[in-house]
Chains A and B, each alone.
Chain A
């Protein structure tokens, strides 16, 4: 498959840590507007895959292209983020001393250079965009709370809200529902589905009912490469997948 017209194109990406292959010739293609769920056992390399896309880890070999022509393996984290790739970490990381509002304001798409932020004054558009995100993430009432005092689930939503505020073309979401209650999980699935369409999304998740609720194409990773790809039903029926993952 050629990289043209793809949003994200990974081909033969390998990463090893002290000889241990965390990614082993991984190939994956995402089209614009697509939402994809990635599942796989612990240590399969899901987080490492996000690390190489976002510039945190440099791959040993392989190609990573964004929008068909931008080579991500040469860019630093901030530059990659500014291309339009947003990331939510496995462990929620919001800026605890700041208010919910300030967290969103920091994430909001706006000039990122120090002299611009030194003189930044919030515009009417920015304000209404933040209001909108507060609304989507159900955090309106908590806008002036310090982010550190939010519940685990609220932090996760705030972080998703921060991703939305960045208005990225591609969102990478790592285990968003780990540690959430069933109700929160359900709301998170709704939230992500409402985001999809305008943005492309890659969600890594263990929780099968959550993946089912998303209802999107699934990629199964194991030992650093793709084991199977297709609808959840199709991959669940795949014997290899059952053996390495679902069967356990």
Chain B
């Protein structure tokens, strides 16, 4: 049954995405670890971590596209799930430091010793075990999303109002995680990691392994997402995106459908955050900043909403642009990002992936299919 589910989602687009990811998973390790450093084909470990970071963002974008592109839920707080997944991983990495911290306390992380805490708070229990942290990476964002979605969807909060409360959610978490007495390191967050699963987190091989793990997570999430989209459940999602009340009158409990997609999406975002933290070496409350979630929306819009592959493409391209800008012209980045969003909204309503169809429609002698750009209308049903 599981096989059938994955096969269902395997269309041509999925084939291309998965092939590219497979090539990356092989080529990047080879080019980093085995190609000599003086060869033009050599990749530095720095580049590998940068690519790994882009792919974590791509996974966040994929998760966001699942709810925005296919259910019409414009989340302006998805980075919250990403950050929570990141914190869960960060807690594991903190506990791996053990007595090697500045204060040499075998159990308490440095910041707790600094705050004069005497024992580990209960919610840090278990995070010395990798498997436990890995489960929490899925469970905590998933549970938060489920609870949030349960109330929001049951109360029939939709559209802009829903977007605003997702933004409020991430903002509230931002403020909470800034507080020292929350026990998550306050505004410094969690950092100074030493190793992961016993391997030195700075070692080249570890960095490459983290990259490969990120590629694998992205590929698996892509297969899950496209399997869901291709299933009848996915068709219900698209239907309710465009005409929710019509779907209700057909006897579908649309709230539980949205809740399913929303929770799944939050779990994926959590995994993205968990893979991000060991590669960048830090997690702090700034990940909860409303701007992070809004950036993720822009990645999806640039690549093409409701295409899955477009979300990945958009996240990678925009972040490459960001790396370039923040190096060369840091003060211009926000303007460039804002301009990009406006330009995409005006000229590329279907994003980069929709560009092909858009050009084809403009070609003389070809009649545009009226549906090739059916926009999900924000209608509430007749």
Contact = CB atoms under 8 A, between A and B. Distances in A.
Contacts of B14: none
A114 B257 contact: yes
B371 A121 contact: no
A78 B246 CA distance: 10
B8 to A, nearest CB: 9
Contacts of B248: 76-78, 81
Nearest to A92: B382
Interface string A70-89: 00000011100110001101
Nearest to B254: A78
A78 B249 CA distance: 6
Interface string A44-56: 0000000000101
Interface residues of A, number: 34
Q: Is the interface of B mostly helix, strand, loop or mixed?
A: helix
Contacts of B371: 96-97, 146, 148-149
A146 B253 CA distance: 24
Nearest to A96: B374
Interface stretch (B185-193, B226-234, B271-279): B226-234
Interface in B331-382: 369-371, 374, 376, 381-382
B354 to A, nearest CB: 13
Interface stretch (A12-20, A105-113, A182-190): A105-113
A128 interface: no
Contacts of A86: 249-250
Contacts of B252: 78, 112
A54 B249 CA distance: 7
A81 B242 contact: no
B229 to A, nearest CB: 11
Given A81-B251, A82-B251, A118-B231, A89 B238 contact: no
Interface residues of B, number: 33
Contact of B250 (A91, A96, A162): A162
Contacts of B238: 95, 97-98
Given A78-B253, A86-B249, A95 B382 contact: no
A106 B4 contact: no
Given A106-B236, A121-B4, A149 B250 contact: no
B329 interface: no
A166 interface: yes
Nearest to B370: A149
Interface string B240-267: 0011011111111110110010000000
A93 B231 contact: no
A90 B245 CA distance: 13
Nearest to B252: A112
B231 A117 contact: yes
B239 interface: yes
Contacts of A102: 235
Contacts of B236: 106, 114, 117
A98 to B, nearest CB: 6
Interface in B1-41: 1, 4-5
A123 interface: no
A119 interface: yes
A167 to B, nearest CB: 11
A77 B249 contact: yes
A86 to B, nearest CB: 7
Interface-centre pick from A87, A93, A119, A148 (highest chain B CB count, 10 A) = A93
Contact of B233 (A90, A117, A146): A117
A117 B381 CA distance: 23
A112 B374 CA distance: 26
Contacts of A82: 251
Contact of B235 (A93, A105, A114, A146): A105
A154 B336 CA distance: 46
A96 B370 CA distance: 11
Contacts of B253: 78, 112-113
Contacts of A107: 250
Contacts of B1: 119
Contacts of A112: 251-253
A103 to B, nearest CB: 8
Contacts of B239: 95, 98, 106
Nearest to B256: A114
B159 to A, nearest CB: 18
B158 to A, nearest CB: 15
B144 to A, nearest CB: 20
B370 A148 contact: yes
A184 B180 CA distance: 71
Contacts of B231: 117-120
B178 to A, nearest CB: 37
Given A105-B235, A113-B256, A90 B382 contact: yes
A149 B228 CA distance: 25
Given A90-B382, A119-B1, A106 B232 contact: yes
Contacts of B250: 81, 86, 106-107, 162, 166
A85 to B, nearest CB: 8
Contacts of B242: 95-97
23 contacts: A56-B245, A78-B248, A81-B250, A93-B381, A95-B238, A95-B243, A97-B371, A98-B238, A105-B235, A112-B252, A112-B253, A113-B256, A114-B257, A114-B260, A117-B233, A118-B231, A119-B1, A119-B5, A119-B231, A121-B4, A146-B371, A148-B374, A162-B250
Given A95-B239, A106-B235, 4 more contacts: A78-B251, A95-B242, A106-B239, A162-B250
Interface of A: 54, 56, 76-78, 81-82, 86-87, 89-91, 93, 95-98, 102, 105-107, 112-114, 117-121, 146, 148-149, 162, 166
The 5 closest A-B pairs by CB, nearest first: A81-B251, A89-B382, A77-B248, A117-B233, A120-B232
